Amino acid sequence: MSERPRLTVLSGPSGVGKSTVVSFMRQKHPEVWLSVSATTRKPRPGEKHGVQYYFVDEDEFAKMVANGELLEWAVFAGNHYGTPRQAVLDKLERGEPVLLEIDLQGARQVRESMPEAQSVFLAPPSWDELVRRLTGRGTEPQQVIDERLRTAKVELAAESEFDTTLVNHSVEGVAAELLALLNVV
Ligand code: ADP
Ligand code: 5GP
């Protein structure tokens, strides 16, 4: 049996289905720990502080950066996002697997600081399907969708930087593949 990977980074363009896959997987395997990021983005309907994200303002985020509290951080579509460092280090110290769901810039920072991490890229079945998913989610105005799609082109071009690519044809299928990569099943 292969050694349990300690830290797994999941990235992929906005709207590809990262949150859907991770939440499906964690319904069946609540023992998979997902880092909760801090963000300056406003909550979407149904999102709760401390669950999907720690929703903070620009000043609070800047303080977290200045105090070295973030393992990595990035600006994505006009908002700040970052991974609180301590919770991740605590889990790793206990030998428990850690999953980060972060953007390409964050994945690159983690690759630099923790080269032992495994990186997974979630790809859409096609460009048109990505547009359909991002638009169909209905959580952002058209201008933000356009910005996220521009960023998606850059992210898709970076796929080969990742250790593994999973194509999100079906939520259930990808969740099973991700669980196998996490060595949970
Ligand atoms: P991300 O977290 O990558 O931004 P989401 O998880 O919010 O993406 O998914 C974007 C949209 O795509 C949601 O409406 C979700 O229900 C839908 N979706 C996710 N995975 C699939 C799939 N395999 N097939 C069809 N629709 C999907
Ligand atoms: P959303 O606003 O759709 O929740 O997330 C937008 C993007 O930010 C996604 O690509 C998501 O993976 C990324 N993201 C979420 N949390 C973090 C984080 O802590 N750091 C970085 N670098 N990106 C993040």
Rg for the chain, CA atoms, rounded: 16
Q: ∠ CA(171), CA(172), CA(174), 5° rounding?
A: 65
Instruction: Output the CA torsion 55→60→62→63 (10° steps).
Output: -130
Question: Given this model, what pLDDT does residue 6 score?
Answer: 84
Closest-approaching ligand to the CA atom of 132: 1
Q: Are strands 98-101 and 33-34 parallel, antiparallel or unpaired?
A: parallel
Query: How many whole angstroms from 180 Cα to the centroid of ligand 2?
Result: 23
Output the CA–CA distances (angstroms, integers) from residue 63 to 37, 52, 58, 78, in the order listed.
15, 21, 9, 18
Q: Where are the alpha helices (DSSP H) in 9-124?
A: 18-28, 58-66, 85-93, 104-113
| Ligand 1 binding pocket mutation candidate from 100, 104, 122, 133 (most atoms within 8 A of CB) | 133
Number of domains in the chain: 1
* Helix H or strand E segment including 34: strand 33-34
Closest ligand 1 atom number to CA of residue 168: 23
Name the residue of 16, 19, 20 whose CB sits within 8 Å of the most ligand 1 atoms, as the mutation to test its pocket.
20
CATH code (residue 75): 3.40.50.300
Whether residue 1 is contained in a domain is answered as no
CA-nearest of 185, 178, 158, 3 to 100 is: 178
> If you take atom 9 of ligand 1, which residue's CA is the nearest one?
17
Measured in residues, the chain has a length of 185
User: Considering the domain boundaries, does residue 131 fall inside one?
Assistant: yes
Is 2 domain-assigned?
A: no
Give kind and range of the element (H or E) at residue 82: strand 79-84
Contact 124, 133 (CB under 8 A): yes
DSSP assigned state of 14: T
CB-facing half-sphere around the CA of 151: CA atoms within 13 A: 21
Q: Output the pLDDT for position 13.
A: 97
In a domain, 19, yes or no: yes
The residues with which 82 forms a beta bridge, in sequence order, are 38, 73
Give the separation between CA 148 and CA 106, rounded to whole angstroms.
Answer: 16
**Alpha-carbon torsion 100, 27, 15, 41, what sign?**
negative
The reported pLDDT for the residue numbered 183 is 85
Domain that holds residue 131: 7-181
The per-residue pLDDT for 2 is 47
One digit per residue, the tens of pLDDT, for the chain of length 185 reads 445 558 999 999 999 999 999 999 999 999 899 999 999 999 999 999 999 999 999 999 999 999 999 999 999 999 999 999 999 999 999 988 899 999 999 999 999 999 999 999 999 999 999 999 999 999 999 999 999 999 999 999 999 999 999 999 999 999 999 999 998 86
Residue 134 lies in a domain: yes
In a domain, 170, yes or no: yes
